[in-house]
Structure 1
């Protein structure tokens, strides 16, 4: 335990692995609560309640975002395709020149 610095000892004491004198102790196991899991009906009920809280976008907003996504995809597809074509021509010229 002498090779640990103050911060490591402080962290181990906080976790319960060291006692007040600085000697190693066995940390207590965390108690498992049986209430952590719920049944399928309760889960679906909670999901439905949470979905009611969601702020769903209106139709014009969805349309606008969809248009922006389509335009962006077309632009980047053209950019990558054009770059591929240009580099293909360039490499063909470069490697075919004897």
Structure 2
């Protein structure tokens, strides 16, 4: 994105932030982020294990409850779509035969 692509409000905001001088020229180059350090596989797995311990896992009753809700919802929508399909089959059979 060049400065020509910015509207007046965006240029004013950049001037207030100090990124543009009074003539509208950039005052400083954008900061580059520091390169990230790579870690080995063992350190990676340690960090994964630490993060997994922080996760709030659902209890067994919650998993059972949510599984029942999902199963019932899928069955209801399957019956609904199947009913519409059957209705459309009857309509098209009546219309074309």
User: TM-score scaled to structure 2, two decimals?
Assistant: 0.74
Match of 1:68 in 2: 69
Match of 2:11 among 6, 9, 17: 9
Match of 2:92 in 1: 91
Structure 2, unaligned runs of 5 or more: none
The worse-fitting range, judged by mean Cα deviation, of 43-52 and 76-85 is 43-52
Structure 2 counterparts to residues 29-40 of structure 1, below 5 A: 29-34=30-35, 36-39=36-39, 40=41
Looking at both structures, which has the greater relative contact order when contacts are Cα pairs under 8 Å and sequence separation is at least 6?
Answer: 1
User: TM-score scaled to structure 1, two decimals?
Assistant: 0.73
Q: Which whole-Å CA distance do the structure 1 matches of 2:65 and 2:7 have between them?
A: 58
Match of 2:59 in 1: 58
- The Cα RMSD (Å) is 2.4
Give the deviation of 1:65 after TM superposition: 1.2
Structure 1, unaligned runs of 5 or more: none
